[in-house]
A = this chain, B = another copy of it.
């Protein structure tokens, strides 16, 4: 690990980089314990607070975890897909809200990626995935459900569809696209009529996935995209009035 630092750049940044590089290139193994903060501040010739700031940077990215106590310290994290989901979703959400990405662009991205997963899901989904999809459809047809609840169930349905593809890399990539859009979806008020329509399309999708009919699933997803965008347009139009 590089221990000589430049002047003129923040020390904590450089230390974080050095440790991150060591993790990426394998010098530091998963679950390996880093030197204590005192040892690190010796090694880099900086004070403990500076080392700590560097470690906090890494902790924020889930690269390390720290524990107190005699056998405590900082340990290299095994970055799990589930942990990365959270970051992915936060980042995607912020990207959408800060860059004035319009709903249609986000929606297009989401459904494009989802349609790509459909064939794999039709082929590989387990009974579990299918059961989740059916259960969420059932929840969506209950009349007492709030709009937020409806959206959350929608997300769960689509995640089951994506997970059915059985490719964790795909699931990870899609998590951002599918979940980040939820806040935008929440601005839509779902009338009984439109819920009925969405539930019908979800049923169509689940049927297609169950039957292994990839094409049919893609067609239903395309219809759902079109319908979702038309709903959003209605909201936008009624807001202008």
Contacts and interface: CB of A to CB of B under 8 A. Distances in A.
Interface residues of A, number: 56
A117 interface: yes
Nearest to A104: B167
B95 A173 contact: no
A237 interface: no
Number of copies: 2
A94 B54 CA distance: 19
A120 B177 CA distance: 17
Given A52-B53, A53-B52, A63 B109 contact: no
B60 A173 contact: no
Contacts of A187: none
Interface string A93-130: 11111110100011011101101110010000000000
A31 B109 CA distance: 28
Contact of A113 (B79, B81, B173, B176): B173
A112 B117 CA distance: 7
A208 interface: no
B176 A101 contact: no
Given A105-B167, A109-B173, A117-B112, A91 B87 contact: yes
Nearest to A77: B98
Contacts of A170: 108-109, 112-113
A84 interface: yes
Contacts of A23: 94
A156 B56 CA distance: 33
A84 B91 contact: yes
B79 A91 contact: yes
A93 B91 CA distance: 17
Given A93-B24, A116-B116, A30 B60 contact: no
A58 B87 CA distance: 12
A110 B167 CA distance: 11
A92 B91 CA distance: 14
6 closest cross-chain pairs (CB), A and B: A116-B116, A109-B169, A57-B60, A60-B60, A53-B56, A109-B170
